[in-house]
């Protein structure tokens, strides 16, 4: 069963590559879990295909979504990918915590190699295929609306980025069904991922999935930066942009400069594995430290790639639900830029324990402490924004408040880790795991969930159920504290991270507490799904077509919910920051334009899905040494790019009469809607028109 099957066609595939076969021959709990995970992926995939077929939605799916170049639909698809991957990562986190809880003095139910796969996939998914797609989807959807543009600068490139991300996520899911994943962690360190130590397909899955994701993020960074620089509406100066747009711009710049080192690192690692190069081996001139430097030159800016957009989200949420202008706007902009610059100066603190000189460690320790200053500026500004404001404790606002308290605690532990001697003691313990999650869960995940709740009415035209939103929010908060605060105690007590079995019985109660927290986090995600289901069922009662349910400030609230394909019937002309917010108080912001004009929009294109599917096929072929499939995929990619270059009829016209019909129907609905005071803004009375207060 371990001999290759038709090697010329299927490469190094054997029947034992299938978890179902392994479970049949060796029905241990470990193998049954692997088979069940693979079975869920297969059954879910088949169920989706059958459902689409039964509903006869293939043509609709292809024409309306998969080939669309509309930045809004692309943003939604990014977020769908992120939520699917979040579900898998949460299940894996629960398996790891459950294994550690039961494996005190005994082996538990997950084998050491399988446990290593779990923490590798969990970390890789949460960073590359949950946080990155989620924030990219939000940026895609919101930035053109916030700057008064009709689309991003390069719509085709935008769609290709989406499909490359989808291909990388598909490789991650394929590793559950055929073969095994890497055991080298989310960072993929050699020698754990070198062919001499791990000749299987796992590291190759990791290499190509991450490479596809990093290429997509690089292109996204270029696209968003050019969009913000070049496509702002008249009067939208840089210092009039919303904070979310500012953080998106800094994030885009970080993507442009931080993702290439990761791409280079994975490419060189692939050369080591496929062609016998020795960039990172321990012999023939290789040096693993080159990989560590390349990876963390990406890795620490990556922390701020995923956190800066969340800072922008919190700025929008706190200002809106405090009914106040954001305190210290300029200082927040400067702090954002300072964080972006300083993020490139601290990468070495990720390997304080690897033998640098004391002077180098001291320099990077000081830089690490310095980056906390602009972050602290933001915390103070949000607090002062709330001070004497009319604070409404909606679900997004509760996420923001929980973030502020929890993030400060994580920052304090970060200062501890910035001291090289202290870091040396706890670097390889659960203390570091606790700190990392202490920053990323409230810093990123809470922000993404706050944005999901805050802008959902704008995206789909109806509000999410507030009750289930609060239940989910409470579970995320309680689950986080129970799951990760015990890890500080365990780490300070000496428990190593990535440990499959535990010999110290004193750790047992803390591990039980951590597992209880992980289960509550899983319940939080379940409540999020229930909230969506309930909201869809009650969408008629929660309709907010007018598009301004929260008395918003930025331009995205000045159009209908959901916005029309062209975003604005007439591009806005702004003369100050918060133009729409002030316009609601000074004059009629919903006055129709003097005249309507034809609007040119890009036609749908199949080039992006073709490139994405071909990229997935090519990299899958590279993983399994199916050279024919890899070559075929590359040829299809090249052919698709060449074929696209010959297409001349790339635009279509939305006639002025159609623009007028869509815009006037929205303005009529606005005129009929009853303004709703903030006290009942989460009730069915809210039709999307907030009562304006001076």
Give the pLDDT band (50/70/90) at residue 482: very high
Whether 100 and 6 map to the same domain: the answer is no
Whether 263 and 363 map to the same domain: the answer is yes
Rounded percentage of the chain residues whose pLDDT exceeds 70 = 100
Q: Is the pLDDT of residue 693 over 80?
A: no
DSSP 674: P
Query: If you write DSSP's letter for every residue of 48-79 in order, what string do you get?
Result: HHHHHHHTT-HHHHIIIIIT---HHHHHHHHH
Average pLDDT, whole number, for the chain? 93
Whether 150 and 114 map to the same domain: the answer is yes
**pLDDT number for residue 331:** 94
Chosen domain end from 38, 56, 74:
56
Give the pLDDT band (50/70/90) at residue 694: low
Whether 159 and 13 map to the same domain: the answer is no
Contact 690, 675 (CB under 8 A): yes
Residue 64 belongs to a domain: yes
Residue-wise pLDDT tens digits, 55-89: 999 999 999 999 999 999 999 999 999 999 999 99
**pLDDT number for residue 1:** 59
Whether 557 and 643 map to the same domain: the answer is no
For the domain that residue 132 is a member of, what is the CATH number? 1.20.210.10
Number of structural domains in the chain: 3
Look up the pTM and report it: 0.96
Whether 365 and 376 map to the same domain: the answer is yes
Whether 252 and 155 map to the same domain: the answer is yes
Give the pLDDT band (50/70/90) at residue 3: confident
Q: How far is CA 300 from CA 187, 293, 350, 364, 368, in A?
A: 12, 11, 8, 12, 11
Residue 193 belongs to a domain: yes
Q: How far is CA 288 from CA 182, 206, 281, 423, in A?
A: 18, 18, 6, 21
Whether 145 and 159 map to the same domain: the answer is yes
Q: How far is CA 571 from CA 51, 94, 504, 565, 609, in A?
A: 40, 48, 65, 13, 30
Residue 690 belongs to a domain: no
**pLDDT number for residue 583:** 86
DSSP 653: E
Residue-wise pLDDT tens digits, 636-670: 999 999 999 999 999 999 999 999 999 999 999 99
Phi–psi pair at 225, nearest 5 degrees? -60, -45
Dihedral angle computed from the Cα positions of residues 545, 551, 555 and 561, in that order, rounded to the nearest 10 degrees = -10
**pLDDT number for residue 367:** 87
Q: Which domain holds residue 17?
A: 1-56
Length reported for the chain: 694
- List all residues 6 or more positions away from 199 whose beta carbon is below 8 Å from its beta carbon: none
Q: Cα(224)–Cα(245) distance, rounded to whole angstroms? A: 10
Residue-wise pLDDT tens digits, 332-342: 999 999 999 99
Whether 204 and 132 map to the same domain: the answer is yes
**Of residues 483 and 349, which shows the higher confidence score?**
483
Whether 553 and 624 map to the same domain: the answer is no
3-state secondary structure 375-444: HHHHHHHHHHHHCCCCCCCCHHHHHHHHHHHHHHHHHHHHHHHCCHHHHHHHCCEHHHHHHHHHHHHHHH
Residue-wise pLDDT tens digits, 436-457: 999 999 999 999 999 999 999 9
């Amino acid at each position: 069963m371990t001999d290759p099957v038709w090697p010329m066609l299927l490469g190094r595939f054997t029947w034992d590559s299938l978890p179902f076969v392994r479970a049949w021959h060796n029905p241990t709990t470990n193998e049954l879990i692997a088979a069940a995970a693979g079975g869920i992926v297969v059954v879910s995939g088949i169920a989706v295909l059958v459902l689409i077929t039964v509903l006869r939605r293939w043509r609709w799916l292809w024409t309306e979504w998969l080939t669309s170049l509309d930045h809004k639909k692309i943003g939604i698809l990014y977020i769908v990918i992120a939520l699917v991957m979040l579900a898998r990562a949460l299940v894996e986190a629960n398996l790891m915590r459950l294994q550690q809880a039961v494996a005190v003095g005994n082996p538990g139910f997950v084998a050491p190699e399988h446990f290593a796969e779990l923490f590798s996939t969990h970390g890789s998914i949460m960073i590359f295929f949950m946080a990155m797609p989620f924030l990219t989807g939000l940026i895609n959807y919101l930035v053109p609306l916030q700057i008064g543009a009709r689309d991003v600068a390069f719509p085709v490139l935008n769609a290709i980025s989406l499909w490359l991300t989808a291909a990388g996520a598909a490789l991650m899911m394929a590793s559950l069904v055929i073969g095994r994943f890497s055991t080298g962690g989310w960072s993929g360190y050699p020698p754990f991922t070198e062919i001499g130590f791990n000749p299987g397909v796992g590291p190759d899955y990791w290499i190509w999935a991450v490479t596809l994701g990093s290429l997509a993020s690089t292109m996204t960074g270029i696209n968003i930066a050019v969009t913000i620089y070049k496509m702002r509406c008249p009067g939208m100066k840089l210092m009039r942009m919303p904070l979310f747009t500012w953080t998106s711009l800094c994030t885009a710049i970080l993507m442009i400069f931080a993702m290439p080192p990761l791409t280079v690192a994975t490419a060189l690692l692939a050369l080591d594995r496929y062609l016998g190069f020795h960039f990172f081996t321990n012999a023939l001139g290789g040096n693993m430290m080159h990989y560590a430097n390349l990876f963390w030159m990406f890795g620490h800016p990556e922390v701020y790639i995923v956190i800066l957009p969340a800072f922008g989200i919190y700025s929008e949420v706190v200002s809106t639900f405090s009914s106040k202008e954001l305190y210290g706007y300029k200082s927040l902009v400067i702090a954002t830029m300072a964080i972006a610059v300083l993020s490139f100066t601290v990468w070495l603190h990720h390997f304080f324990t690897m033998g640098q000189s004391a002077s180098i460690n001291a320099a990077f320790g000081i830089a690490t402490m310095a980056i906390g200053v602009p972050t602290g500026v933001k915390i103070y500004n949000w607090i002062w924004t709330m001070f004497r404001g009319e604070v409404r404790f909606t679900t997004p606002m509760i996420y923001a408040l929980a973030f502020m308290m929890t993030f400060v605690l994580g920052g304090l532990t970060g200062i501890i880790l910035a001291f090289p001697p202290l870091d040396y003691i706890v670097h390889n313990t659960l203390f570091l795991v606790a700190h990392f999650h202490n920053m990323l869960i409230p810093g990123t995940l809470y922000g993404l969930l706050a944005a999901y709740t805050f802008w959902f009415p704008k995206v789909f035209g109806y509000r999410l159920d507030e009750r289930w939103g609060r239940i989910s929010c409470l579970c995320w908060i309680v689950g986080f504290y129970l799951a990760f605060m015990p890890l500080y105690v365990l780490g300070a007590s000496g428990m190593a991270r990535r440990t499959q079995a535990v010999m110290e019985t004193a750790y047992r109660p803390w591990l039980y507490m951590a597992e209880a927290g992980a289960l509550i986090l899983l319940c939080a995600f379940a409540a999020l799904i229930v909230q969506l289901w309930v909201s869809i069922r009650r969408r008629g009662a929660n309709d907010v077509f007018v598009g301004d349910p929260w008395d918003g400030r930025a331009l995205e609230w000045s159009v209908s919910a959901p916005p029309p394909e062209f975003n604005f019937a007439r591009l806005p002309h702004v003369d100050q920051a918060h133009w729409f917010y002030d316009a609601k108080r000074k004059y009629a912001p919903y006055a129709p334009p003097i005249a309507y004009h034809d609007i040119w929009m890009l036609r749908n294109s199949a080039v992006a899905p073709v490139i994405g599917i071909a990229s997935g096929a090519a990299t899958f072929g590279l993983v399994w040494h199916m050279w024919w499939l890899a070559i075929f995929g590359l040829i299809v990619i090249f052919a698709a790019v060449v074929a696209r270059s010959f297409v001349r009829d790339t635009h279509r016209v939305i006639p002025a009469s159609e623009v007028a019909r869509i815009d006037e129907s929205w303005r009529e609905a606005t005129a009929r809607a009853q303004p709703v005071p903030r006290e009942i803004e989460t009730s069915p009375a809210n039709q999307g028109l907030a009562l304006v207060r001076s």
